[in-house]
A and B are shown apart, each in its own frame.
Chain A
Amino acid sequence: MTDVRERLKNATEFVTLPERPFERLLERRDRKRRGQRLASAAVAFAIAAAAVGGGVLVLFRLGQDHVETGGGWHSTKALALQSGEYFYLRVESSEEVDGRIRDEETWWGVDGSGEVRNDSTRQDKYPYPPSGTYGPGAFPIWSDVSDLSPDPSVLAAQLRQEPWNHFEGQPEFERMWDVASFLLTELPTPTPDLRAALFDVARDIEGVTVSENERDPVGREAMSLSFSDAKHGATWRLYFDPGTHQALAWTFSSDRGGESWEIFESGIVDAAGVKPEGEQWLVPPLEGAAR
């Protein structure tokens, strides 16, 4: 049997290795993103057509008003983003990962227009989202979420399927946590109603602990969903506003020491490039956070 092993290993020595493999990976990444931008433009066109044709978005919004749970932040904004509105998201991280400290502000509209102010480090390596002002369909997206439903039961089923379910080797609850937290923390394009649905999905994942009456790392009133890997002593925790169920922060801690976090501010505004004011905020702005 050893001979079988050796012969297989020896055989692999005969293949010619790819030239410039990392550069080719970068090229592939760029091609993939260009394809996703085209898909986004098509979706933007479809949405615009639907809005003109029958007020579909208005009906959609009526069914998706913001979440009231008896506490937390109050916003007059409905969570379903309307045509002409922009979802504002600010992300800041506490420490570098692969040399990058995130510091991003994005405005994204359902027609695929928006603005990005990216002051993160290592943009040579992590150029997305690139700073700029974008017309309809031109906003740089790197994972198209336009087909995801804001209905939690539908969404949960969608996340169990390709292309979201990449990691068949993991237990399902780990995969669901992974993809839900990825969508909530990495992408500026999930709309607030989709984010609230992701909260519902994440809350129901096996092994997730729900804690009420908490504070996020900057002291904002919060509830949290935590997920631990006891075997490796790691805990991931997502903080949400108790009223709007929008993400406030994301932390990772380890038994080996150290905790890192990312903090989010979000709101809905009427123009790209303008920060939310008052009840346009979907979570308490950091200036108002009591620490």
Chain B
Amino acid sequence: MTRMDEVAVTAPKHHQSAWASARAGDFEAFFELHHERLFRALWLLTRNRQEAEEVMQDAFLRLWERWDRVVGGPDPAGYLYRTAMNVWRSRLRRAAVAARKVIHHIQRDDEIAEVEERDAVVRALAPLPPRQRAAIVLMDVLDLSSDQAGEVLGIKPVTVRVHAARAREALAHEMEERHD
């Protein structure tokens, strides 16, 4: 008959392994490291500060609920971005349904309105299809590779490149039109 305290004594010295130190990573530190960058990118995607913060918080909360798995996995930041994109898409779907029922519609906020007034590129981002917007924000704002962005969006890297290229073309065209 062996008791739990004996198990603990005979357990391997996990903390000596590199894996263990990574796994024991601190969620708060992870949050501090990633939240600002994610928030800025989400702001461009959602065009609304409040919406960006909601998506960011939901993504972090979902990650936190399963932090021991996420931090033990290969790419916690990738997991975060993937979750954020899923939350955003899910909220977009809900907003679309709500808009049809004339209950609620996400408005752009004053800060993005100011930037859009000034910058045609940002203004041209708004009407792009969500996939194109996501692709260009992931690749050009968050600097992910097409492989990484593909994992985040759940599509093939080549498809991400196509979406991003189309988005860039649209934005470049807008710049030429406006000569700015």
Contacts and interface: CB of A to CB of B under 8 A. Distances in A.
Contacts of B41: 12
A247 to B, nearest CB: 15
Given A12-B41, A229-B74, A168 B26 contact: no
Nearest to B155: A169
Given A3-B175, A21-B35, A252 B125 contact: no
Instruction: Summarize B's interface: helix, strand, loop or mixed.
Output: helix
Contacts of A32: 61
Contacts of A125: 27-28
A186 B64 CA distance: 12
| Interface size grouping (class) on chain B | 35 or more
A9 B44 CA distance: 9
Interface stretch (A40-48, A94-102, A188-196): A94-102
Interface in B25-54: 25-28, 31-32, 35-36, 39-41, 43-44, 49, 52-53
A287 to B, nearest CB: 6
Contact of B141 (A8, A162, A229): A8
A4 B172 contact: yes
A143 interface: yes
Contacts of B66: 178, 182, 186
Interface stretch (A50-58, A69-77, A199-207, A256-264): A256-264
B19 A254 contact: yes
A46 to B, nearest CB: 25
A218 interface: yes
B82 interface: yes
A96 to B, nearest CB: 6
B136 interface: yes
B72 A167 contact: no
B14 interface: yes
Contacts of B43: 12, 15
A8 B73 contact: no
Interface string A1-43: 1011101110111111110011011001100100000000000
Interface string A261-291: 0010000000000000000000000111101
A181 interface: yes
Contacts of B115: 11, 14
30 contacts: A1-B168, A3-B175, A4-B171, A8-B122, A8-B137, A8-B140, A8-B141, A11-B44, A12-B44, A12-B141, A15-B40, A15-B112, A18-B49, A18-B53, A24-B57, A25-B31, A25-B60, A95-B24, A166-B62, A166-B83, A169-B82, A169-B152, A218-B2, A256-B18, A258-B19, A259-B12, A260-B20, A263-B7, A287-B3, A289-B2
Interface of A: 1, 3-5, 7-9, 11-18, 21-22, 24-25, 28-29, 32, 92, 94-99, 125, 142-143, 162, 166-170, 178, 181-182, 186, 217-219, 229, 231-232, 234, 236, 252, 254, 256-260, 263, 286-289, 291
